[in-house]
Structure 1
């Protein structure tokens, strides 16, 4: 038990309990130390429960009873199966306390010794200077007398100007992200980069710091770019696993198919707006899209040439306008030498005139666009009506043709009927022959169709099975990755816990102690097995001798009883033999009773030792003293109540 107590005390110290160095066993725990250990463990296991419990035992008996009941209820809520109550903490016994503390230590989390929110013990505070500083902070409400270096979390008046600057909000910047372009070796979808992009990355792309207008937006821009790439990769992976795998296409084919579908949608939308575009042929999506965009540009060029011209076109128009003026006016302007103010006023007037013209042209363009949209809708409706009328005309022409042929056949109706009958019979015979030929060809075709359908179904089942296997494999990969991540985190936690453990404890010493305990247990087990085997052999020998004795007595009794009828001396010998047998039986029974009494005595001695270890007498004395203290408290409260 000494080794178990040492390990238990070491774990309690790691959880934050301040156990003195001279305490080496649970037998030496006082009531205050027991309460503190249990409260510290509860604070680490369930902070919400442990935060409302005090680790300091109050002097009043009623408060002590309440704390004992609260601790007992908390231990029962954690799942402790043993008997626990206020007497477990106030009038403790060594086995019960050891069992309870072992249960709480097993409930402690793995990183309990690294939890910064929990109170730390003396050993951890000595090993970690940060913890030592945090532990020292609550000892005084104001640390102005220690200087700025001694109160990093104190009032602003206790801190230096540099510390106030670092801890203040003046160095904070707004999170403003700017678009960045990073060189890429591979495309995330096509797995390749064109030569033009590589040349742009090598020769013309500026560094990341040169792409930003302000240096403060570097970190936000990098974070935003990284988050965008991660989200895009995650969306692509989700879409590929949900839709891409079901399409049975490679990632490149799936990406090209999505691009083509997007182009078709854009082309359909543009074609609805521009009725002048013709029908689309399959395989010409990109070319049709470019032509349609060119059509838009050509249709808007006459209207927008005036309104959306460049600076060169405005300059050219002004030059043409000036050339169209009379030469006499130009000469008059040159001779008059207009001042700069007049020139500016003239330019402002021209600018206003141009802006008015621009607004007028823009209004005309808007009107024309609305008129074009109206005409486009009207044209679409008219085209639909024309197609419907063409279908009606075609049907009427066919009906008219049939009626005309029928009218031509009316003058010679009998001959025409005979000819039609011959034609119908020949057509029927031909249909029968064709049906027979088709039946000859249909049977192998149906068999081939059935074979191909069965093959297709089998391939479909095989592909579905492989698709399910691929999805299961992806799930396994994801679960394996998550498990690996969890194990990495656990490994890091264990490394941190290992670094936080005291270095003065040798692992080999613990290992040697464990091996010694195991060897002692093995030796005890061998001795117990040897004692059991000796006991079995002795019991077997006793049973053999008892049986032999019973058989010998029976034979002797029979022989002596036969001779006792005729001889008086033999009769006396028979009486002595019966008395001897009875005395021997009583002696054996006495020996067995003596063994039973010795075993009961040994059990009673063990019970006495266990009761002695429970400190019943001392606990009884403490209960009596606590009872007297409670009576005194009640009397004091009663007197105080009467006085008030």
Structure 2
């Protein structure tokens, strides 16, 4: 176990544990060092636990610290018996198991490098997640507080500028699809700059929402509102032109006095246009009322016409059904009439006609028999040929299916092998890149040599154990065969001597001696078995004694007694403080 202890101590020194050079095995670890090693390992495995590496002086705090460390180790998956005593009164075997478990759980640099993404998509996703996390980590502030950096993006300093977009989605047919695929530009190319993209999409979406009217009246109202908005814009433009003309006239008044007539002309024009605009609005309202009334009358007429059309179509369908039924009845009656007319024509020469019909029936029957025999002659070879071809096709189909299945399996294996080769190539490139980064001072060859020696020793021990088990099995088989022979020989001797014991006195004595010999041998065998069982129990007890002695029970008892005395002193001081407070 010295090699294992050296490896554990070296790994603990690498993670920052303050272990002195004279400490060469885990038996020399004290409570402070055990707690420090476990806390540092847990901080690396699960950062953020916040457990202190310093052992407190108070016994209650020590017990709480040991309980928290035991709970953390059990949450990681430690299956052994663990508690506060593992850290405060540790044994060498339990401490070795615990530290080996924690060192195996430590994250390795190779695992980190292998888990890092290598493809472009994975790297892009990693960059995006990093940028989003960095943005979310910043505190929120209003837009006017940010004049630089990422938070100023999307601010209201930018103007709302939109462009008409060509996004046609209502067409159908091959020409429309050809236009969309080959000639229609993408949205990003239709916009002159990125600032126009979002406003253009918002404007196009608003047009699509508000451009579809449900009926004629809503369309007319929408057109009137559109015209009114255009006229108000024209009036505003005209008023602006008027103001500009007055401003220019005021400037001209400084140079000449004949501009007063020019100043009155736009005022009169504006007054007349306001009057005309009012008259236009009244006319427009009258026209809208007339169009609404006409639409209502047309709608009522259209509803009446639709009702009449439905009634006439139902009547027409009924008439068609009755006409078809009448035509069928007429055809049936016509066929019956023809049959009856033929029978009436044949009635005068009834016997001759019956004989002729019988002759025709016999001739037709003979023809059918001849045709059936000819068909059977032709049918047999064709059926046999069909069956042969079908059997050949079935065999070919089965072989082709088997080959197809084999091809599919080979393709799947090929894909798996290609993926494995890619993964291995990536791992190889990563490992080759990491080789120069690794520290060259660490003497890993010695550790690997020790590990290989340990593995070889374990293999040798396994081989020896297998040999011992094989020998014990062979010995058990020999024992079973010998016991069987002994029983058989005893039964044979017993029968032979018992036959002669009735008439011969010596055979009687021999029979008695045989029985006593058999019982004595059985007692000897049982005694040997009991001796072997006791020897095994002695070995088990010796192993238990060694394990208990390795646990340092005496030292742990001394620690426990010292801790108990300390706890009694602490309780006495607390009781004295309580009595002083109460008094």
TM-score by length of structure 1 reads: 0.48
For 1:7 and 1:555, the matched residues in 2 are separated by 67
* Structure 1 residue 275 corresponds to structure 2 residue 183: no
Aligned 1:379-398 pairs, distance under 5 A: 379-389=287-297
SS at match of 1:309: helix
Spell out, residue by residue over 1:288-322, the C-alpha distance to the aligned partner (whole angstroms, 9 max, x if none).
xxxx89x976x568635532339997788789999
Distance apart, 1:619 and its partner CA: 1.0
1:532 maps to which residue?
A: 469
Task: State whether residues 15 and 40 of structure 1, in contact with CA within 8 Å, keep that contact through their aligned partners in structure 2.
Answer: yes
Spell out, residue by residue over 1:116-174, the C-alpha distance to the aligned partner (whole angstroms, 9 max, x if none).
xxxxxxxxxxxxxxxxxxxxxxxxxxxxxxxxxxxxxxxxxxxxxxxxxxxxxxx9947
1:593 maps to which residue?
A: 530
Distance apart, 1:536 and its partner CA: 1.2
Aligned 1:145-224 pairs, distance under 5 A: 173=148, 176-177=152-153
1:95 maps to which residue?
A: 93
2:361 maps to which residue?
A: none
Aligned 1:53-202 pairs, distance under 5 A: 53-76=51-74, 80-105=78-103, 173=148, 176-177=152-153
For 1:313 and 1:491, the matched residues in 2 are separated by 83
Q: 1:362 to 1:516 in 2, by over 3 A?
A: farther
Task: State whether residues 45 and 107 of structure 1, in contact with CA within 8 Å, keep that contact through their aligned partners in structure 2.
Answer: yes
SS at match of 1:83: coil
1:415 maps to which residue?
A: none
Spell out, residue by residue over 1:522-544, the C-alpha distance to the aligned partner (whole angstroms, 9 max, x if none).
33333322222221111111111
For 1:496 and 1:362, the matched residues in 2 are separated by 87
Aligned 1:216-235 pairs, distance under 5 A: none
Distance apart, 1:603 and its partner CA: 0.6
* Structure 1 residue 618 corresponds to structure 2 residue 516: no
For 1:368 and 1:10, the matched residues in 2 are separated by 101
Distance apart, 1:593 and its partner CA: 1.8
For 2:553 and 2:300, the matched residues in 1 are separated by 115
For 1:361 and 1:26, the matched residues in 2 are separated by 106
Spell out, residue by residue over 1:187-222, the C-alpha distance to the aligned partner (whole angstroms, 9 max, x if none).
999898979x99998xxx9xxxxxxxxxxxxxxxxx
Spell out, residue by residue over 1:417-441, the C-alpha distance to the aligned partner (whole angstroms, 9 max, x if none).
xxxxxxxxxx99995599549x99x
Aligned 1:208-357 pairs, distance under 5 A: 261=208, 264-265=211-212, 272-275=221-224, 299=231, 303-304=235-236, 306-309=238-241, 326=258
Q: 1:383 to 1:592 in 2, by over 3 A?
A: same
For 1:498 and 1:534, the matched residues in 2 are separated by 49
Q: 1:259 to 1:91 in 2, by over 3 A?
A: closer
1:631 maps to which residue?
A: 568
For 1:363 and 1:32, the matched residues in 2 are separated by 103
For 2:13 and 2:243, the matched residues in 1 are separated by 83
For 1:16 and 1:370, the matched residues in 2 are separated by 92
SS at match of 2:224: coil
Q: 1:640 to 1:432 in 2, by over 3 A?
A: closer
1:604 maps to which residue?
A: 541
SS at match of 1:55: coil
For 2:44 and 2:89, the matched residues in 1 are separated by 25
* Structure 1 residue 18 corresponds to structure 2 residue 3: no
1:554 maps to which residue?
A: 491
For 2:251 and 2:501, the matched residues in 1 are separated by 170
Instruction: Tell me how large the CA RMSD over aligned residues is.
Output: 6.1
Q: 1:387 to 1:491 in 2, by over 3 A?
A: farther
Spell out, residue by residue over 1:212-268, the C-alpha distance to the aligned partner (whole angstroms, 9 max, x if none).
xxxxxxxxxxxxx79x99x99xx99xxxxxxxxxxxxxxxxxxx9x89947945999
For 1:56 and 1:363, the matched residues in 2 are separated by 97
Q: 1:273 to 1:78 in 2, by over 3 A?
A: same
For 2:282 and 2:457, the matched residues in 1 are separated by 103
For 1:99 and 1:607, the matched residues in 2 are separated by 18
Task: State whether residues 307 and 362 of structure 1, in contact with CA within 8 Å, keep that contact through their aligned partners in structure 2.
Answer: no
TM-score by length of structure 2 reads: 0.52
Distance apart, 1:83 and its partner CA: 3.1
Distance apart, 1:41 and its partner CA: 3.7
Count of paired positions? 412
SS at match of 1:275: helix
For 1:112 and 1:54, the matched residues in 2 are separated by 29
For 1:362 and 1:18, the matched residues in 2 are separated by 99
For 2:234 and 2:255, the matched residues in 1 are separated by 24
For 1:623 and 1:321, the matched residues in 2 are separated by 115
For 1:24 and 1:497, the matched residues in 2 are separated by 32
Aligned 1:413-562 pairs, distance under 5 A: 432=320, 436=324, 503-505=440-442, 513-562=450-499
Task: State whether residues 275 and 380 of structure 1, in contact with CA within 8 Å, keep that contact through their aligned partners in structure 2.
Answer: no
Q: 1:199 to 1:428 in 2, by over 3 A?
A: closer
Task: State whether residues 14 and 113 of structure 1, in contact with CA within 8 Å, keep that contact through their aligned partners in structure 2.
Answer: no
SS at match of 1:274: helix
Spell out, residue by residue over 1:584-623, the C-alpha distance to the aligned partner (whole angstroms, 9 max, x if none).
3333222222211111111111111111111112211222
Spell out, residue by residue over 1:379-428, the C-alpha distance to the aligned partner (whole angstroms, 9 max, x if none).
433311133356779999xxxxxxxxxxxxxxxxxxxxxxxxxxxxxx99
Distance apart, 1:3 and its partner CA: 5.5
Unaligned regions of 5+ residues in structure 2, if any?
113-145, 160-165, 168-179, 305-314, 329-426
For 1:92 and 1:394, the matched residues in 2 are separated by 100
1:156 maps to which residue?
A: none
Task: State whether residues 111 and 497 of structure 1, in contact with CA within 8 Å, keep that contact through their aligned partners in structure 2.
Answer: no
For 1:395 and 1:113, the matched residues in 2 are separated by 79
For 2:443 and 2:272, the matched residues in 1 are separated by 91
